[in-house]
Structure formats: C-alpha cells, structure tokens
C-alpha cells in the first residue's frame, strides 16, 4: 500500500472526496490526479465492465479501491467497530 506521506494535498483531498461517492465530473487537473491515483491502485475507473454489471452512471467515474479506502480510513483514525453485548 502507498504511504500517505508520499501523496500531495490534492491527491489526499480527492481520496477524501471519493469517500462520499464516485467522482464523475472533474476538471482536467483533477482528472490527471485521478489517473495518477489509478496508477497507484488507490482509485479505479468505472469503465465498461461496471456498465456491463449494471452501473447506470458515467463510465468515466472514479471510485476508491480497497487500498484507497484503507488508506483514507487509516488517516481518519477510525477505531475498529465494537460489538454491543
């Protein structure tokens, strides 16, 4: 997994934005950052496979991967979920 310290503030901001939902419409500069995060395996593009699986949104959307989700979750400092007795 990529260390969080190796990411720029723009990359971290896009990862936090992707928690709320897929990133669909973005400026060219943000698109470049999204593609860089895809190369680091922290985000993925929806693509035609997602459309074939029932995704009704844009095939140009970007989502967090498991690694991306774990990285943002670690930065936010979440504790594990506790079970109620």
Q: What is the DSSP string of the chain?
A: ---GGGS-HHHHHHHHHHHHS-B-S--HHHHHHHHHHHHTTSEEE-HHHHHHTT--S-TT-EEE-HHHHHHHHHHHTPPPPPPP-
What is the number of alpha carbons within 13 Å of residue 36 lying toward its C-beta?
15
State yes or no: pLDDT of 5 exceeds 60.
yes
Least confidently predicted of 2-6, 18-22, 57-61, 62-66: 2-6
State yes or no: pLDDT of 66 exceeds 80.
yes
Residue 85: per-residue pLDDT = 60
Residue 2: per-residue pLDDT = 57
Report all structural domains of the chain as residue ranges with CATH numbers, in order of start: 4-76 (1.10.10)
Where residue 36 falls among pLDDT bands split at 50, 70, 90?
A: very high
- Spatial neighbors of 7 by CB under 8 A, at least 6 apart, are 15
pTM of the model: 0.74
């Amino acid at each position: 997994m990529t260390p969080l310290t190796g990411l720029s503030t723009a990359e971290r901001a896009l990862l936090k934005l992707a928690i709320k939902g897929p990133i669909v419409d973005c400026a060219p500069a943000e698109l470049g950052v999204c593609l860089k995060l895809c190369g680091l395996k922290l985000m993925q593009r929806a693509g035609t496979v997602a459309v074939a699986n029932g995704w009704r949104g844009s095939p140009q959307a970007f989502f967090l991967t498991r690694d991306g989700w774990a990285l943002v979750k670690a930065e936010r400092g979440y504790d594990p979920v506790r079970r109620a007795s």
